[in-house]
Structures are given as C-alpha cells and as structure tokens.
C-alpha cells in the first residue's frame, strides 16, 4: 500500500501563484518519515509555512514568537535534509494564478475538469486550485507501481472538499493513467493529525515561490534544491507552460504576444461563432450532423485549413 499527503498554498484571489504539493511513498516509508518528522520538529513545535515565513523586523511571529530566526531556520533545514533522504517522492504543481484568472471560463474548465465537454460542463471548477489538484492526483496515480493502490490525504480545505472529492472520483472512474491505482476514497485531515501534511505545506509553499521573483529564504532555497529541481513530478506553470497546455483546447480564446498564434478556426470562434469541429493534438475533427437538424442558408466552397481539417476522422458527438 502507498500513501500520499498533499497541501495547498496561495488559494486567495490576490495570490500570484496557486500550488498543491506533497509527498508519496510506500506505507513503511511514510510511517518512518512521520516518526522522524515528529522528532525533528520539536524545537519549533509544529510547522505551518504561512506563519513560519512571516518574519517581522527580523523576528519570528505568531506561534513561533520567542524562537530565534537562526534556530527556527536550522530546525527547518534539518527537516528538509530528512525529507531528501527519506525515500518519499515529491509531487506538486504551481500555476501562475494571475494568468489563470485572465483565461475565459471555458479555458479554465479545460485546465481543471476531469470530464469531457458535456451536460455538466458549466458546473466544472474554475479555480486554479483544481488544475493543481488534478495534476497531483494523476501524478500520484502514475507514481504508484502496478498492482498497488495509493491512498491520498489532503489538508482539510472546507471550501473545496466537495468539489475535490467529485474530481477525485471522476479520475478514479476514468482509470488508466488518470486513476487506476487510486484508493477507494480520498481523505481530508489537519496538519496536527497527519503530520506529513506539515511536510507537504513546506513543499507547497516553496514550490509556489518558483513563480515569484527575488531572493529566496534559505529554507525555501534548500527545499527547491533538494526536493523540487530535477524531480519527475514537480511542475511550475508560467505563461509559456499555460500557452503550451492550451494548444489542444477546443475553446481557446486567449493568446499572448510572441507565443502560439490563433489559427483560422480559433479566429472565427473568438468572434462568437460556433464551429462544427473539435480540436485535438493532431488537428481538427469534423462532427457528423443529421441533415434534418440543419437549416441551409447558403453554400460556400470549402477550403482546406492548412491540412488540419481531418475530414476522414469523424465523431458522432453533435
């Protein structure tokens, strides 16, 4: 049996980056790391990134008030060292939240939904948290060996528990690379009850800093160097990454200078017209239409669109 522990960072509407990240590993590996974390974290009591990194006038604040910055950072660095040698696999994604918020509602849904376009499309989530959540769940699934199951625990986030549970179940139902190795249920707990959520908090906060500029705190830099850079399951999506991801979005409306240029179909769609095509990585698929459902207004001579109109491949989805 495998376990995973994930936390979020930057979910407010004013945050630059939204992140979900944590660790996954075999049950024994997780249990051993949990015991070591409990021992090493004692000098500061417990770890909560938002308070830990909130220094004022060069001093610790909140629950860490009275602890010197040097002692606090030294404790956190020992925790990072332990995680780096624990055998746990870091998993996480951070996304530029400002860029995500600039997308159209359909583009947001394309990045967050675990369902194809259909009757429930309008109910699909539009918050960047779910793009990161989707990534972490599917990557945890892919990390898990064949024949094993992984049971995921997320930090309790009351605003998103219901929608996150629905997305998890949808991914599990899809099976294969999305959810065939997921355990039956997803759990939500607190950082004090499931202490590896504290480790997930440290990773999530630090990975989120990848999309921030300026000098990093020594602890954050250590996390990035030892637990993020070069890791197989850690991603940070800036505008270039989002542009790349949207290349196959059938509802694309948003484009940026010096990046992907809109094709003819996307230019037509951007003007508010509906097109009888569906975009894929290979090009456009043409829908079947029932003749009795079509009202003929005029006939136009068809023109090929750069070889992308794949009329030999059709889907009865209209």
CB of 125 closer than 8 Å to CB of 268: no
Q: Mean of the pLDDT values across residues 224-243?
A: 96
CB of 195 closer than 8 Å to CB of 37: yes
Strand partners, 314: 286
Give the chain's mean pLDDT. 88
Report the pLDDT value the prediction gives residue 309, as an integer from 0 to 100: 45
Over 90: is that where the pLDDT of 273 sits? no
CATH of 2-245, one of 3.30.420, 2.60.40, 3.30.70, 3.30.160: 3.30.420
User: Would residue 212 be called left, alpha or beta, if left means φ above 0 and alpha means ψ between -120 and 50 degrees?
Assistant: beta
Over 70: is that where the pLDDT of 78 sits? yes
Which span out of 38-42, 111-115, 295-299 was modeled with the highest average pLDDT?
38-42
Report how far residue 269's alpha carbon sits from residue 155's, in angstroms, rounded to the nearest whole number. Answer: 40
* Percent of all residues in the chain with a pLDDT value above 70, rounded to a whole number: 87
CB of 150 closer than 8 Å to CB of 141: yes
Q: Mean of the pLDDT values across residues 127-145?
A: 97
Q: How far apart are the first and last CA of the chain?
A: 43
Lowest mean per-residue pLDDT among 213-217, 240-244, 254-258, 286-290: 286-290
Lowest mean per-residue pLDDT among 226-235, 256-265, 279-288: 279-288
User: Would residue 45 be called left, alpha or beta, if left means φ above 0 and alpha means ψ between -120 and 50 degrees?
Assistant: left
| 3-state SS assignment for residue 10 | coil
For 263-299, letters b (16+ CB in 10 Å) and e give bebbeebeeeeeeebbbeeeebbbeeeeeeeeeeeee
Q: Residue 245 burial by CB count (10 A; 0-12/13-18/19+): exposed, middle or buried?
A: middle
Domain spans, the chain: 2-245, 262-315
Q: Mean of the pLDDT values across residues 288-309?
A: 60
Which span out of 34-43, 248-257, 270-279 was modeled with the highest average pLDDT?
34-43
Q: Mean of the pLDDT values across residues 273-281?
A: 72
User: pLDDT confidence of 318, banded at 50, 70, 90?
Assistant: very low
Lowest mean per-residue pLDDT among 8-12, 77-81, 148-152: 8-12
Over 50: is that where the pLDDT of 67 sits? yes
Q: Mean of the pLDDT values across residues 49-54?
A: 95
* Percent of all residues in the chain with a pLDDT value above 90, rounded to a whole number: 70
Q: Mean of the pLDDT values across residues 147-159?
A: 94
Instruction: Count how many Cα atoms sit within 13 Å of the Cα of residue 282 in the half-sphere of its side chain.
Output: 7
User: pLDDT confidence of 42, banded at 50, 70, 90?
Assistant: very high
Q: Mean of the pLDDT values across residues 180-188?
A: 96
Report the pLDDT value the prediction gives residue 289, as an integer from 0 to 100: 56
């Amino acid at each position: 049996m495998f376990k995973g522990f994930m936390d979020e960072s930057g979910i407010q509407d004013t945050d630059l980056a939204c992140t979900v990240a944590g660790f996954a590993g075999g049950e024994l590996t997780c249990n051993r790391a949990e015991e070591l974390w409990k021992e090493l974290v004692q000098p500061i009591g417990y770890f909560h990134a938002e308070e830990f990194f909130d220094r004022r006038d060069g001093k610790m604040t909140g629950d860490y008030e009275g602890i010197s910055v040097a002692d606090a950072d030294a404790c956190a660095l020992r925790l990072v060292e332990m995680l780096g040698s624990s055998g746990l696999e870091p998993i996480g994604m951070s996304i530029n939240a400002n860029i995500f918020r600039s997308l159209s509602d359909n583009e947001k849904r394309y990045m967050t939904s675990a369902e194809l376009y259909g009757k429930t499309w309008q109910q699909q989530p539009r918050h960047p948290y779910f793009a990161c959540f989707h990534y972490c769940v599917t990557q945890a699934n892919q990390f898990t060996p064949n024949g094993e199951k992984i049971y995921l625990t997320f930090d309790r986030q009351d605003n998103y528990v219901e929608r996150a549970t629905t997305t998890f179940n949808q991914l599990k139902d899809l099976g294969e690379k999305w959810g065939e190795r997921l355990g039956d249920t997803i759990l939500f707990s607190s950082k004090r009850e499931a202490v590896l959520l504290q480790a997930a908090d440290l990773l999530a906060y630090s990975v989120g800093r990848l999309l921030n500029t300026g000098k990093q705190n020594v602890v954050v830099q250590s996390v990035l160097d030892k637990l993020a850079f070069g890791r197989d399951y850690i991603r940070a999506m800036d505008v270039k990454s989002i542009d790349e991801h949207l290349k196959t979005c059938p509802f694309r409306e948003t484009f940026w200078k010096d990046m992907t240029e809109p094709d003819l179909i996307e230019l037509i769609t951007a003007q508010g017209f509906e097109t009888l095509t569906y975009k894929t990585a290979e090009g456009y698929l043409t829908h079947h239409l029932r003749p009795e459902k079509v009202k003929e207004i005029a006939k136009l001579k068809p023109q090929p669109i750069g070889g992308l109109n794949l009329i030999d491949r059709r889907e009865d989805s209209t």
